[in-house]
Structures are given as structure tokens and as C-alpha cells.
Amino acid sequence: DTGVSQDPRHKITKRGQNVTFRCDPISEHNRLYWYRQTLGQGPEFLTYFQNEAQLEKSRLLSDRFSAERPKGSFSTLEIQRTEQGDSAMYLCASSLGTGRYGYTFGSGTRLTVV
Amino acid sequence: GQQLNQSPQSMFIQEGEDVSMNCTSSSIFNTWLWYKQDPGEGPVLLIALYKAGELTSNGRLTAQFGITRKDSFLNISASIPSDVGIYFCAGRRETSGSRLTFGEGTQLTVNP
């Protein structure tokens, strides 16, 4: 499978715990994106990387959120001290270059904070 | 928050009917994209549009990039049950780099 892989698919955590999600992009894609999608809404941009450099962060990405892409391949998104409002689908996508022809999304990680 | 207004929010149609949905914005976009999302999955790209007035087809799907660059339309002809899902428009502005702005989606239900 050469698509975008996300792990885990589902995560249930207690409020206040830290969680980390992983994304493996399509291997030749140099750009990697994180989006968040809440129920009944479209995806909202969080951040993106070109290779290992984080080039842009949304205001949605509070101090409790951090994303890394240490070797320009896979990426991790960590949420510290989770809150119920963090419950959402976290989508990763990748593209070759600027993504002019659209991104390829993964299947997402569904986070539920209880 | 969302800057794209997508309508209708939901549609219930009979198999074989044609479907139209649209997306409007107060901002100019230089790229419009249409995605379909199935439950529990990520969005899948259907059609990409790059020029004002452009009309592009992908099988039974046809999308148009509005002349004003502030809107886009998606038509599905002769709907079938597997067309069920949520359809999202997404736009990219010149000033927003690679960032996409998504609409709120149109939930399509097709009755056999």
C-alpha cells in the first residue's frame, strides 16, 4: 500500500492525558499536512511541513499541540493535557511540491477524550 | 473557521437522478478542489480546477470554476447508490500557500 498511513485509527483517552499520533506519507511526497475535522464540519488546517521544516502553523494549534517531522519522512502530532474539545478526527495528508494537484489524505485518527 | 459556504447541507435523491451542489466564498481562490469522504475515511480527491471558467469532468462528475473565482459547482449525473457520502469543496488562495480551506460538506443520500 503506497497511500498515506495513520496510526492509530482510533484513540480513546482520559482528559489530561497526552496522546501522540503518527503519519507516514507517500514516500516521494515532500510536503506533509495535518488537519482536524470535527463532526459535521470540513477539515481545518493545523500545520504543514516541507521536508523536515514546519513552514506554517494555524492559530488552531495551541501550545498543547506540537508536530514534528524529524527526518522529513514520517510525522508525529502530540497533544498534551487533552481536553474534551480536542475530540475530533485528525487527518494527515501529503503532496509532491505545493500540492497544486491536491493532496492525498490518510484515513485519519479518531480521538475521543472522555 | 470555515470561509466557504457550501450548499445544500444535505440531499436525498432517487437513484438515477442528477445532483448539483455549490460552494461560494467572499474571497478569491486560484484553485478549487472537490473531495468525497466516506464514513471513517479521509477525503478522496475527485476533481481539481485551476482557471476561472474551467469546466472539468471525471466520469459522471462535472465541476466548474466560477468566473468570479469566488465559487465552484459540482454536478453528478445519473446517481448510483455508491455516490452516497459527504462531498467537500476546498479552495486555495494565492496568499495561503499550500493551505486548503474546506466547505462544511454536502451529505448525499441516494435511495435505490
pLDDT in tens, A67-99: 999 988 999 999 999 999 999 999 999 998 877
The answer to whether B49 touches B107, Cβ cutoff 8 Å, is: no
Q: Is A25 on the interface with B (CB under 8 A)?
A: no
Contacts of B104 in chain A (CB under 8 A): 40-42
Residues 6+ apart with CB under 8 A from A106: A3, A4, A5, A6, A23, A91, A92, A93, B42
pLDDT at position A1 is: 54
pLDDT at position A72 is: 87
- Interface test mutation site (partner A, options B37, B45, B96, B98, max chain A beta carbons within 10 A): B98
* DSSP per residue, A7-23: E-SEEEE-TT--EEEEE
β-strand B10-14 against B106-111: which pairing, if any?
Answer: parallel
The grid coordinates listed for A8 are 492509530
The answer to whether B44 touches B37, Cβ cutoff 8 Å, is: yes
**Residue B79 CB neighbours (<10 A):** 21
pLDDT per residue as tens digits for the range B27-86:
999 999 999 999 989 999 999 999 999 999 999 999 999 999 999 999 999 999 999 999
Q: How confident is the model at residue A37 (pLDDT cuts 50, 70, 90)?
A: very high
The answer to whether A73 touches A24, Cβ cutoff 8 Å, is: yes
pLDDT at position A82 is: 98
pLDDT at position B2 is: 54
Q: Is B94 on the interface with A (CB under 8 A)?
A: no
Contacts of B33 in chain A (CB under 8 A): 102
Q: How confident is the model at residue A57 (pLDDT cuts 50, 70, 90)?
A: very high
